[in-house]
Structure 1
Amino acid sequence: MSLKNPGDRWGPVSQLLHWLIVLLLVAVATIGLLLDSLPRSPSSFWVYDLHKSLGLTLLLLAALRLGWRWFAGAPRPLPGTPRWQARIASTTHALLYAMIFAMPLSGWLYDSANGLRPLRWFGVVRMPKLTSPDQDLAELAISAHEWLFWVLVLLVTAHVAAALYHHVFLQDATLRRMLPGRGRTSGDVP
């Protein structure tokens, strides 16, 4: 069995990376939304550090996923998929990748420009600064980080809604192609 993506579904490596990224996005978003309610004191630094470390992990996994997609290819659109739907799906995927890269990079830029504490990935690997301390840049980066989050929320919502629409209403294999399992079902490519 090849780990690459066959023509009719996403392969196991693509599925694993997809679902790991989903879990990380949920964790990072949840922690990020809770950060404003925490005191900015040494007792809560570990939560900020966890948010940053998970964000950097997300960046790494997104790079791996994009590299794997280039290497392993993508399944063909389902037969009968209108061209406009395939274009919207491709555009949405590209925007999702862009946001998944932009979010951690804007956070890393904020952390670098803020210049307060060194950024350490899970307390082990000291990450390089992307820039020297600059409060104006730090404010721009954190503002971008927050706005990009809401754009990402909209894109993820559209992505999930489209997958559920295909699964529930069209009853095709769009969602099942990203789920583990080898059995073919109605709507799968023969």
Structure 2
Amino acid sequence: MLIGNTAERFGFVTKTLHWLTLVLLIGSFTLAVSMVNMPFSPRKLEFYSWHKWVGVTIFLVVLLRLGWRLINPVPQPPQGTPPWQRRLAGWSHAALYAILIVMPVTGWIMSSALNLPVVYLGLIHIPSPFGVDRALGETMKVVHLSLAIALLTLVAVHVLAALYHHFVQRDDVLRRMLPWPARLKGTNAVNWKTQ
């Protein structure tokens, strides 16, 4: 099993953190959509708590991803990738990381400002330096929602780009991030048996 990245492939750690982030995002958005439409109840408060816990976990996983990326650079784009695609990929990845860090922070500020403290996993109280401030809380609510829309848009672009590489460019951009080894065909294929 390849733990770290190589010039051609993503390693186990990068793949695990990538797909874990996706699973957490799906959970977070599912909770968010569900809890907004619920009548006020203990169940709704429970969903809010879980949503906050997932948000904090996403924040921590993304920090871990960035740290790993600093010491373990990602594989190079396939040969022949136009410079504009390289730049666009770099910008979109940077934007994804930025939103995945800033969004949980805005949720934390919003909750704290609206006097709904964040207690991670029901054990660790994450204090806010801002105190209770309804105006700040309402502003952060708008920012948090706007970031959610931006994140969904960027994730859609990310998925479409991966599918474009797979079905149009017919390169290994998508396949090398899959969580399982793939038997590939064609001249760009990686022989997984030898790796």
TM range (shorter): over 0.9
Q: Partner residue of 2:87?
A: 87
- In 2, Cα distance between equivalents of 1:11 and 1:130: 39
- In 2, Cα distance between equivalents of 1:5 and 1:136: 46
Letter in 1 for 2:75: P
CA contact (8 A) 1:5 1:74 kept: yes
Q: Partner residue of 2:26?
A: 26
Identity of aligned residues (%): 39
The list of structure 1 runs, each at least 4 consecutive aligned residues, that deviate by more than 6 angstroms after superposition, is none
Match status 1:121 vs 2:120? yes
- In 1, Cα distance between equivalents of 2:190 and 2:89: 18
Match status 1:48 vs 2:48? yes
Query: Residue 26 of structure 1: SS of its match in structure 2?
Result: helix
Letter in 1 for 2:69: R
Deviations 1:5-54 (A, max 9, x none): 10101111000000000000111011111221112333421111000001
Query: Residue 126 of structure 1: SS of its match in structure 2?
Result: strand
- In 2, Cα distance between equivalents of 1:2 and 1:171: 24
Letter in 2 for 1:66: L
CA contact (8 A) 2:118 2:125 kept: yes
Pairing of 1:1-190 with structure 2 (within 5 A): 3-116=3-116, 118-179=117-178, 180-181=180-181, 186=186, 187-188=188-189
- In 2, Cα distance between equivalents of 1:147 and 1:159: 18
How many residues are treated as equivalent by the alignment? 189
TM-score of the superposed pair, with normalisation by structure 2 = 0.91
How far does residue 181 in structure 1 lie from its aligned partner after superposition? 2.1
Moved more, 73-82 or 13-22: 73-82
Pair 188,98 (structure 1): closer, same or farther in 2 beyond 3 Å: farther
Structure with more contact order per residue of length (Cα contacts < 8 Å, sep ≥ 6): 1
Deviations 1:92-141 (A, max 9, x none): 0000001111211110110111123x311111111122421111100010
For structure 1, the 5+ residue unaligned runs are none
Letter in 2 for 1:143: V
- In 2, Cα distance between equivalents of 1:162 and 1:44: 36
- In 2, Cα distance between equivalents of 1:3 and 1:75: 13
CA contact (8 A) 1:56 1:104 kept: yes
For structure 2, the 5+ residue unaligned runs are none
